[in-house]
Structure 1
């Protein structure tokens, strides 16, 4: 980052780097608690990971496919209820304007695997958290006489991530700045960030919060040059997702149980402006897809769809792929973190939600760190120059991939 001319210093309680779900949620939560915040984003709001997610707010049961509830599944069991409270305007934030795509998700098992989990899913441990459905209750994509297997309903939500980003951005839009790294200078000191020079503005934050997902790695590298937070490292776990645009009426929000302890396929459904539906495919297919070319993965996806849904006709469907790097704190052997992550080093807070569903947990952890350090609001919300561009909400990738970009 290049040197910039100095301007009158503008104090702010917390400067937040990153405008995805973590930065937007924390900016709202902290503003609600009286802290003055400025959010800095070099792309669109939600554009790197949040809008590439499937929008699933799960309670961990998809991690119980080994036949037992893991520590990971227990850690996030309460998350759907936390989100539901906010969606009703009664939780951490008021998210009443967010569109819910589905109030439930499904698990289905196919063929010879149909009975593998029947006893476990019927156990007292899971009573009330999962329900086996009768044939007439199946989602339409599985409601066919040729289907052989079991279908269960989960108490999980799926959100429209575009409306989530817009709802979180609306109350803080004027303090979401779009920054150009070439004209932004960060002045680090031994315990944090002393000053942020922007064109026409110098921010002096009391604390700085890194919530930039993959961008945290570069910011941590800069901090490390000043011997700050050298023990915190980032990792990225890659996926290559498949998108299937079709004209069938089936909206599916479900996990297919495979032979392993992770979903063979996870499907969410999203709508295009012209009414076409897009199935967004995750699960094991997306993890295996990392090693494939786009063409090879599309062939594999067509084969998977033909195997799992032989009664549906995807011959006219359009398929595309997108690569995603899930940003997280470093873990041994790239394993998935169990919880949201928030650590303080001096006046620097480093955060990752690790999963969309764990965002309320991330908020709890950040507030706990501030309380531990007896950090209280000290500065009014600054008036930011109108000349500085504001970061704007992004749009989901399926619009662009299938020619619906406005």
Structure 2
């Protein structure tokens, strides 16, 4: 059917983006800044699946240096904190000037038993000039007790407020972020890509489609595979069982505890609750091992870990909760973790995973290169019919679980 015979009420965006987490929101902002007319479709809430469940850490490769896995690809992640800072300064194509930062730095602490290993770690090229050993009077308050006998270091990695991130990325394109009902709305594929999507009776025919839906990508890939598109692309899921600790002690900690393994024993970030108390959000090895435990077992493990690492702090009156998080990634051999953001194109269809929050700018670069490869030029401005419902904003889990 030629363009001249199309129904007049059909919308023709340059690009339709699936997924309202960090990947989709970063990409629509990047594309919007380049002049492309885009729509984003979200089947639940903006940021509500993986992004608002992340710890908000914008790291420069800590885990890679810790494990000694310093490939050229993984070293590229060292640039990411500076890329985020550029966006926060308004000098990047994605504008994050309104983003709330929880901490400009992160801490790392260790006991004397791993001191020799830490010496090699700090000598790594990735961390040279980015880490500083602190004197006791500069320790974070949670580690300032005289009973603490280890060492504390400061890293120049950011921790951001993920709710603020979703708000900041949504604001410039709010009228373009649409609710997609998987029970009602339909997708129509052809050999070139997504022929059309129909939302509440409104037909939309994009020139290019981006699948950036995280955990939603597998279902979208099913349709693409039936149209013989992206047939080599598959998803893998990596579960975590996080622990949340709501307390009123006031200690704000953004830190990694380093033990004898190649993973942080515990990663702690601090987030505000509406009632003025704070939540310690616990990740690291505790969360990875937690998937093998029941909720009750994980809560017990979390209490035990805190008692072991912070015996001078009293969490007896704290409230504890767990959160199951499933991270979606491109499928890798033996389920290894991807080093970089990932994007691939087949005809007029692109699939994208940031693989980590910190790699969103890298994902933007990769997707923009693929879009430019197609020769797609920005089209005429869109008019969004008012009947198309906007996707709702997500709410952090710690606002509602206690």
Normalising by structure 2, report the TM-score.
0.95
Structure 2: runs of 5+ lacking an equivalent: 1-6
Distance 1:48 1:125 in 2: 31
Distance 1:231 1:190 in 2: 15
Structure 1: runs of 5+ lacking an equivalent: 1-5
Secondary structure of 1:315's aligned partner: coil
1:3-40 deviation line (CA, Å, top 9, x unaligned): xxx88321110001000011111111101101100000
Alignment of 1:4-403 (within 5 A): 8-67=9-68, 69-71=70-72, 73-122=74-123, 126-377=127-378, 379-402=379-402
1:324-360 deviation line (CA, Å, top 9, x unaligned): 1100100111111010011101100000000000000
Secondary structure of 1:366's aligned partner: helix
How far did 1:113 drift? 2.2
Distance 1:97 1:172 in 2: 15
Paired positions, count: 396
How far did 1:301 drift? 0.5
CA RMSD between the two structures? 1.5
How far did 1:212 drift? 0.3
1:63, 1:72 within 8 Å by CA — same for their partners in 2? Answer: no
4+ residue segments displaced more than 6 Å: none
Structure 1 residues 97 and 354: alpha-carbon distance in aligned structure 2, compared to 1, 3 A threshold: same
Normalising by structure 1, report the TM-score.
0.95
How far did 1:201 drift? 1.4
How far did 1:381 drift? 3.1
Secondary structure of 1:337's aligned partner: coil
Counterpart in the other structure of 2:3:
none
